[in-house]
Amino acid sequence: MSDYSTETVKQSGVIEDLLEVLWAPAAVFNRTRERKAGMYLLVLALVGLVIVVSTGSLARPYLEANADLQMALAAKAGKPIPEAAVNMTRNITVYAYYASPLLFIPIGALLSALFIKWAGKTMSAPLRYGQALTIAAITSSPRLFGFIATAVQGAILDTSNVKSMGDSSLGPARFVDPLTMSSPLYTFLVTIDVFSVWQYVLIAIAVSVVARVERTTGAIVALITWALGSALTLIPGLLAS
């Protein structure tokens, strides 16, 4: 790999880093390896909030379909939702979507940082937690495109027959029936899409650059991080089944 320690590190702003990481990730992680994650998380959460609030009406068919799916699954399990609570359930789903950037971007980064740090230690790619958190924050940038992709599909596609949020996924969840598939497996498939793959590719590059290790080592760290995150996503569904 390149000897980044001998390269001149330019100064850059938070927004510049979050944009440039999409096409020049190695350069971004080289110059941010000692930076704090706070401003990156704040900007990502606020931009995500602006996106979901401004495009919420386009995403609403998918959100309401997802609420209907959860109610159908509850009824199938013998725990039907009262008719009077149907609209409230749909509204709660919509409001949770609006709040998701403020909640899941920071929380997701905090958890991912733990996984990155632990995986890095097991692969002799030592990282401080602060470095892992900055990696987790900056590599969340592609996730914003997930919100945009849902809105674009809501604008140009027929949403009259959507079954869940999975129908807006750019991944395998789009091609399966959530009513007939096991909930844990469906939840797992929902977590796999173009943007999550993009994120973990960036994590692999980031670990390689920040920890000064080979790309293959960074890729293994990213794979372990993905496996741990997927397991955490699956646990609630497995316990409930």
pLDDT in tens, 224-233: 999 999 888 8
Residue 80 gets the label, from left (phi > 0), alpha (psi -120 to 50) or beta, of beta
Q: Encoding tokens for residue 135?
A: 């990696």
Banded pLDDT at 74 (limits 50, 70, 90): confident
Q: Are 158 and 200 in contact (CB under 8 A)?
A: no
Rounded Cα distance, 21 and 12, in Å: 12
Domain spans of the chain, in order of start? 4-240
Condensed to tens digits (0 to 9), the pLDDT of residues 137-146 reads 999 999 999 9
Q: Is the pLDDT of residue 236 over 70?
A: no
Are residues 224 and 204 in contact, defined by beta-carbon separation less than 8 angstroms?
no
